[in-house]
Amino acid sequence: MKFNINGPLFKIETNDSFPVKKIKKNKLFDQVLSNFGINTKYLIYLINKNAQTSKIYFVKSKRNIFVLRSSTSQDSKYLKSQCKIVSSVKQDFFFNILKGKYGYTFKNKNLHYFLYKKVNGEIFDGRVDHLNKIFYNIVKLHKKLKKKNIFDSNLQIKKYKIKKIKNHGMLLTKEDFLNKIFSKKMIGKQTKELIIKNKFYIKNCINNIVKLKLEKKNLQIVHGDLNHSNIIVSKKSARFIDLEDLIVDNFKIAISTGIFKILRHVVFKNKNKLYYVNNYCINLCNNLIKKNIFNNRNEIFDHSALMILSDISLIINSVLRGEKKYLYDLEKKFLNLIELRYIFKLHELKS
| Of 346, 318, 295, 348, nearest in space to 51 by CA | 318
Residue 208 lies in a domain: yes
Residue 138 binned pLDDT confidence (cut-offs 50, 70, 90) = very high
- Give the pLDDT score at 327: 93
CA distance 150 to 100: 26
Residue 163 lies in a domain: yes
Which CATH number is 192's domain given?
Answer: 3.90.1200
CA distance 127 to 233: 10
- Give the pLDDT score at 170: 98
CB 115 within 8 A of CB 100: yes
For residue 254, pLDDT beyond 50? yes
CA distance 83 to 154: 11
For residue 51, pLDDT beyond 90? no
Judgement on whether residues 117 and 167 belong to the same structural domain of the protein: no
- Full domain range(s) for residue 270: 123-343
Q: What are the φ/ψ torsions at residue 165 (nearest 5 degrees)?
A: -60, -40
CB 264 within 8 A of CB 336: yes
CA distance 315 to 323: 9
| Of 262, 196, 277, nearest in space to 223 by CA | 262
Model confidence pLDDT, tens digit, residues 213-240: 999 999 999 999 999 999 999 988 899 9
| Of 153, 181, 135, 159, nearest in space to 293 by CA | 135
Residue 351 lies in a domain: no
For residue 50, pLDDT beyond 80? no
Residue 3 lies in a domain: no
For residue 348, pLDDT beyond 80? no
Q: What is the dihedral of CA 233, 270, 262, 160, to 10 degrees?
A: 150
Judgement on whether residues 136 and 247 belong to the same structural domain of the protein: yes
Measure CA 283 to chain center. 23
pLDDT, average across residues 294-310 = 97
Determine the residue type at 268.
F
Residue 3 binned pLDDT confidence (cut-offs 50, 70, 90) = low
- Give the pLDDT score at 53: 73
Judgement on whether residues 70 and 82 belong to the same structural domain of the protein: yes
CB 343 within 8 A of CB 349: no
For residue 81, pLDDT beyond 70? yes
Judgement on whether residues 182 and 127 belong to the same structural domain of the protein: yes
What pTM value is reported for the model?
Answer: 0.94
How many domains in the chain? 2
Determine the residue type at 191.
T
Judgement on whether residues 129 and 118 belong to the same structural domain of the protein: no
- Give the pLDDT score at 195: 97
Residue 10 lies in a domain: no
CA distance 312 to 309: 5
- Give ∠ CA 319-199-3 in degrees, rounded to 5: 105
Judgement on whether residues 101 and 218 belong to the same structural domain of the protein: no
What integer best gives the mean pLDDT of the chain? 93
Model confidence pLDDT, tens digit, residues 169-216: 999 999 999 999 999 999 999 999 999 999 999 999 999 999 999 999
CA distance 240 to 228: 10
Judgement on whether residues 248 and 234 belong to the same structural domain of the protein: yes
Model confidence pLDDT, tens digit, residues 89-132: 877 899 999 999 999 999 998 999 999 999 999 999 999 999 99
Name residue 55's beta-bridge partners.
Answer: 70
